[in-house]
A and B are shown apart, each in its own frame.
Chain A
C-alpha cells in the first residue's frame, strides 16, 4: 500500500515536471514560429507596387531607402545609386496634379493607362499605387517584391512600423533604449543595494534587521504599475526640473524607477550571500586584529563576490524584462538615444504598447514577436551567466 502510494506520488511529480517543461518549450516554439515569418514579409506593403521609369538604372531599393524617399529625405536618385536626377514621388492621390478628373475617368477607369503613360514620360518618377491599377503592358519598371533583409531588422536604425509604403522594423533604437535604461538602473541601484546589504548583514542590530528585511522584501511585491505611477508623479517632474528638460520622461527616469524596483532583489540576494560567509572566516579576521570595516571589505565582500555578481545580474534581468513602469516614464520615443536625458523606448514597452494594434500574422505582428525572441535571448544569456557564476563559486 505504502509502496503504491510512493509510486503514485513519484509519477505525479514526474508528470507535473514534464508538463511544465513541455509548456515552456511550447511557449518558446510559439515565439520563434510567430517571429520566423518576419524575414519573409515584403518590404513594400502588400497589394501595392512601386514603379520607376524604364531608363532608371535603379532596380533595387532597401526598405530604409524607400522610407527616406517617401519622407523626402532622399530627393535625388544618385543617393541610391542612380543617375543625377531629382526624385519625383507620385502617390495615387497625386495623379490629379498631372491629369484632370475627366482624363482619369469618372470611375477612375483610366488610371492604369495614365499611370503607365506618366511613368514612361518622367525619368525621375517613383510611382506608388495599388497592384490592381497596374495593367499588363505597363510601361515602366516594377520594383521586385523583396522580403525584409535581416540587416534591416538587426541593423535598422528606425522603428516605425506604420510607415507607408515601407514599414521600418529597426531593432537598434529599441535594443539601445532597453540597454541604456537597464544599464542606468544597475549603475544606480548596485552601489546603493550593496551598501544596504552590507548594512543589513553586518551592521544593523537584529531588531533593525528584523524590521527592515521584510519591508524590503515587501517592496519586491509591489505591482510595477504602482512604481510607474510613483515615477510619473514624483521622479519625472523632479528630473525635468533638475536638468531643465523639455520633457521629464527620459531614459534616466526609467533607470531611476527600474533601479528602485531592482533594489529589493539586489539587496536580498547580496545580503544572503554575505550571510553565507562562514563565521570562522570573520572570526579569523577579527582575531588578527582587523576592525569590523577591514573585515567587511577584506573578507566578507571578496568572499561573497559571486553572490554579489548574481545579485547584479538578477537585478539587470529584472530591469530588462520590466514593461509597465518603464512604459509609463520613458517617453516612448523609438529613437536611438544619445544621452540618458532623452526619451527612449524599450523592447518590452514596445511589445506591450503595440501588440494590440497589429493584425495577427502581419509584418508588424511578426516584428513584435521577433522582439520577444530578442528579449528571450538576452534573458537567456543572463540566466546562463548566473549559472556560470554559480558554478565557478562551487568549483572554487
Chain B
C-alpha cells in the first residue's frame, strides 16, 4: 500500500485547517467539549466530551438511537443540513473550532471525510466517482487526477476488481465494492479524519473483512472514527471505544479496557450482549 498522504506535498490540495498552523497544543486531532445537540426540542446529545489523537481508530458503539450517527455527523457539520437543529459546546479539529463563524463548511469537509452506512456512489463512472472530490476542489490537472484516482482506489483495496472497468457505471458494482468505492472517493481528497457510519452493516462477511483490513491499513495515514453495532468489529479494528447511551457518552477508553474491564455497569452489559 502506498502512502496516500505524501501526495499532498506536490499538490495544490490546500489544507485549510492545518495551513493556518493552529495545531492543538496537546496534539489532539479531535477535541469535543461540553457538546449538547438538539433536534428541535429533542435533546439528542448530552454534554459530550471526546478527545482523539492523530492516527487513532475510535469505535462508537451503543444501542440504536443513542446518538452515534448524530455525534459523527457533528464532526463534519453534516447536521447543518437538518433544519431546526442546535448545538452548544465546541468541537476542535486540529485545534480549530469548526463551528466558528469564519469556518467554510466545504473546506472543513475536505479535511473530514465521511463514509455512509449505505453505499451511495454517484450515478457516474467509477473513475468519475473518485475524481468528484478533486474536481469540486478545483483541480484540473488531468494526470494528477488520474494518479490520485488510481492511488485512492488502490488504497481502498478495490483496484484489482475495477481496473478494467473504470469507465463503467459505479452502479454495476456489488454493494461491498460500492462501499469500498465510497471509501476511495473519501480518501481521494486526502482528508485528515475519516468518519465511517456503520460502513459494513450492509455487507457480507467477506466484504466486511476486506473493509476491516482496509481500516488497519488506513490507520497509518488517517484518524478514523467508526460507528458499529458489531462488537467483534469494534474490538478488531479500534484502538479506543466510546459507548453511548441515550445521548450520553457513558464510557470512553482503550478498546481492550471497554471490552474486558469496563468501569460502568451499563457498558459491561452492552458489550457482553446482555443489553440492547
Q: Does B100 contact A (CB under 8 A)?
A: no
How many chain A residues touch the partner (CB < 8 A)? 20
B106 lies within 8 A of A284 (CB): no
B189 lies within 8 A of A284 (CB): no
Chain A: minimal CB distance from B138 (Å): 10
A284 lies within 8 A of B116 (CB): yes
B189 lies within 8 A of A288 (CB): yes
Chain B: minimal CB distance from A181 (Å): 36
A285 lies within 8 A of B132 (CB): yes
Binds A, one of B76-84, B207-215, B252-260: B76-84
Chain A: minimal CB distance from B109 (Å): 4
Residues of A within 8 A of B206 (CB): none
B109 lies within 8 A of A289 (CB): yes
How many chain B residues touch the partner (CB < 8 A)? 25
Q: Does A234 contact B (CB under 8 A)?
A: no
A206 lies within 8 A of B83 (CB): yes
Q: Does A278 contact B (CB under 8 A)?
A: yes
Q: Does B110 contact A (CB under 8 A)?
A: yes
Could you tell me the distance between the alpha carbons of A303 and B122 in the complex, rounded to whole angstroms?
Answer: 9
A291 lies within 8 A of B120 (CB): no
- Among B83, B114, B123, point to the contact of A287 (Cβ < 8 A): B114
Q: Does B182 contact A (CB under 8 A)?
A: yes
A289 lies within 8 A of B122 (CB): no
Q: Give the nearest-CB partner of A396 in chain B.
A: B123
Could you tell me the distance between the alpha carbons of A101 and B242 in the complex, rounded to whole angstroms?
Answer: 119
A285 lies within 8 A of B83 (CB): no
Q: Does A384 contact B (CB under 8 A)?
A: no
With contacts A298-B132, A298-B136, A303-B123 taken as known, whether A287 is within 8 angstroms of B118 at the C-beta atoms is no
- Among A206, A280, A288, A299, point to the contact of B133 (Cβ < 8 A): A288
Q: Does B137 contact A (CB under 8 A)?
A: yes
Residues of B within 8 A of A291 (CB): 106, 136
Q: Does B67 contact A (CB under 8 A)?
A: no
Residues of B within 8 A of A287 (CB): 76, 78, 109, 113-114, 116, 186
Could you tell me the distance between the alpha carbons of A156 and B116 in the complex, rounded to whole angstroms?
Answer: 63
A283 lies within 8 A of B136 (CB): no
Q: Does B107 contact A (CB under 8 A)?
A: yes
Could you tell me the distance between the alpha carbons of A230 and B34 in the complex, rounded to whole angstroms?
Answer: 61
Q: Does B148 contact A (CB under 8 A)?
A: no
B137 lies within 8 A of A284 (CB): no
Q: Give the nearest-CB partner of B169 in chain A.
A: A396
With contacts A286-B109, A288-B109 taken as known, whether A281 is within 8 angstroms of B120 at the C-beta atoms is yes
Q: Does A294 contact B (CB under 8 A)?
A: yes
Q: A316-338 CB contact bits vs B (8 Å, 1 = yes)?
A: 00000000000000000000000
- Among B78, B118, B182, point to the contact of A286 (Cβ < 8 A): B78
Of residues 3 through 33 on chain B, the ones whose CB sits less than 8 Å from some CB of chain A are none
A289 lies within 8 A of B137 (CB): yes
Residues of B within 8 A of A302 (CB): 123
Q: Give the nearest-CB partner of A294 in chain B.
A: B136
Of residues 190 through 239 on chain B, the ones whose CB sits less than 8 Å from some CB of chain A are none
B120 lies within 8 A of A288 (CB): no
A289 lies within 8 A of B81 (CB): no
Chain B: minimal CB distance from A286 (Å): 6
Q: Does B180 contact A (CB under 8 A)?
A: no
Ordered by A's residue number, 25 sampled pairs between the chains whose C-beta atoms are within 8 Å are A281-B120, A281-B122, A282-B81, A283-B120, A284-B116, A285-B122, A285-B132, A285-B136, A286-B106, A287-B109, A287-B113, A288-B109, A288-B110, A288-B113, A288-B132, A289-B107, A289-B110, A289-B136, A289-B189, A290-B106, A290-B136, A291-B136, A294-B136, A298-B135, A396-B123
Task: Supply 4 further A-B pairs (C-beta < 8 A) apart from A278-B120, A288-B185.
Answer: A280-B116, A286-B109, A288-B132, A298-B135
A interface residues, Cβ below 8 angstroms from B: 206, 278, 280-291, 294, 298-299, 302-303, 396
B interface residues, Cβ below 8 angstroms from A: 76, 78, 81, 83, 106-107, 109-110, 113-114, 116, 118, 120-123, 132-133, 135-137, 182, 185-186, 189
- Which 5 A-B pairs give the minimum distances between C-beta atoms? A289-B110, A288-B133, A280-B120, A290-B136, A287-B114
